[in-house]
Copies of this chain bind each other. A is one copy, B any other.
Amino acid sequence: MPLLVVGSVALDSIHTPFGETADALGGSAVYFSVAGSLLSPVKVVGVIGSDYPVGELDRLASRGIDWSGVERADGESFRWKGKYSYDLQSRETLETRLGVFASFRPKLPASWRSTKYLFLGNIDPELQLNVLEQMDDPRLVVCDTMNYWIQGKRADLLALLKRVDILLVNDSEARELSGNWNIHKAGRWILGQGPKRVVIKQGEYGALLIEPNRTFYVPAYPLEEVFDPTGAGDAFAGGFMGYLARVDSTAPEQLRRAMVYGSAMGSFAVEGFGIKGFDQVTFDAVQRRVQAFVDLTHVPSAEQLP
């Protein structure tokens, strides 16, 4: 099944202890699509300026990404510039230039409104709500957000939460949104706001799927070299939803496997600068990494023991 993502299509300039890039393809919709399209076709709604390297998007189209919902506006594309600390544990935003993204009003092509799997990338919750209004009857709606909206658009965000199936955030966002430092209490609080489930990403420590009566934990992949954490969360979302769309199911057991596919995509994302981590990644490579994840936490049952 195809999936639909609404989010940013940006140009990132990233500095890490291991190198830097300037004006490289980035943004939530780009990371999401590059990862998600390894599992299911992805349709993207976003906006770019007249300066965007459209040829690079076209090259990615062959992976199964449909960019025809990306509006081309007059003006500069969204640019983000950031620098990571020596241990990649924190980052500083050096510059954010919204450009054409500032006046972005997502418009879904008519034929896309019946898409069953929708990911609302991290944009203004008012716009996320507006996208939902344009959809017919999606089977699964997952949304992301960030501290900026939690602080500045709390009412809209809470209105949105009543209408999404899964909120997918990182731990600091879950803590800020809920006012609970304990991550399990924070998750429980979020479930009380509407979503049936919440996925909490914990960076190098993995991710949690919190459900009303059950919790699932998938660790991060044991990488000895991490080059660039940018986009790992959106790549996770792409793998998570790409898997669910591929199997066309939201059954509890499938959600657990989707968490592993999400984590696998997050691990590829951090292995290279920008979206380069995905350059050599095939469907088979994804399957192998998923199996490695399964092995990483596999507890042999007592019966199997000598």
A residues near B, CB below 8 A? 87, 181-182, 184-185, 188, 202, 205-206, 208, 214-219, 222-226, 247, 249, 251, 253-254, 256-257, 260, 293-302, 304-306
With both beta carbons as reference points, the residue of chain B lying nearest to A304 in the complex is identified as B253
- In Å, the complex CA distance between A68 and B261 comes to 53
- In Å, the complex CA distance between A296 and B298 comes to 11
Q: Beyond A87-B181, A224-B188, A297-B297, is A305–B253 a contact (Cβ under 8 Å)?
A: yes
Interface class of chain A by DSSP: mixed
Q: Which of B205, B247, B295, B302 contacts A202 (CB 8 A)?
A: B205
Q: Which of B181, B293, B299 contacts A256 (CB 8 A)?
A: B299
A210 nearest CB across to chain B (Å): 8
Question: Is A297 touching B216 in the complex (CB atoms < 8 A)?
Answer: yes
Question: Is A215 touching B206 in the complex (CB atoms < 8 A)?
Answer: no
Q: Which of B87, B219, B306 contacts A249 (CB 8 A)?
A: B306
Question: Is B296 touching A215 in the complex (CB atoms < 8 A)?
Answer: yes
Question: Is A224 touching B182 in the complex (CB atoms < 8 A)?
Answer: yes
- In Å, the complex CA distance between A13 and B249 comes to 53
With both beta carbons as reference points, the residue of chain B lying nearest to A259 in the complex is identified as B299
Q: Beyond A217-B297, A219-B219, A297-B299, is A305–B185 a contact (Cβ under 8 Å)?
A: no
Question: Is B223 touching A184 in the complex (CB atoms < 8 A)?
Answer: yes
Question: Is B293 touching A299 in the complex (CB atoms < 8 A)?
Answer: yes
Q: Beyond A87-B181, A222-B215, A306-B251, is A298–B256 a contact (Cβ under 8 Å)?
A: yes
With both beta carbons as reference points, the residue of chain B lying nearest to A293 in the complex is identified as B299
With both beta carbons as reference points, the residue of chain B lying nearest to A220 in the complex is identified as B217
19 sample A-B contacts, Cβ–Cβ < 8 Å, listed by A number: A182-B225, A185-B224, A188-B224, A206-B219, A215-B222, A216-B296, A216-B297, A217-B222, A218-B297, A219-B219, A219-B297, A251-B305, A251-B306, A253-B300, A257-B299, A257-B302, A294-B299, A294-B301, A297-B297
List, in ascending order, chain B residues with CB within 8 A of A300's CB.
253, 256-257
- In Å, the complex CA distance between A206 and B62 comes to 41
List, in ascending order, chain B residues with CB within 8 A of A302's CB.
257
- In Å, the complex CA distance between A253 and B302 comes to 9
Q: Which of B217, B247, B306 contacts A219 (CB 8 A)?
A: B217
Known: A87-B181, A249-B306, A257-B302. 18 other contacts (CB 8 A): A182-B223, A202-B205, A205-B205, A215-B222, A216-B298, A217-B222, A217-B296, A218-B299, A219-B219, A247-B305, A251-B305, A251-B306, A253-B306, A254-B306, A257-B299, A257-B300, A294-B301, A297-B299
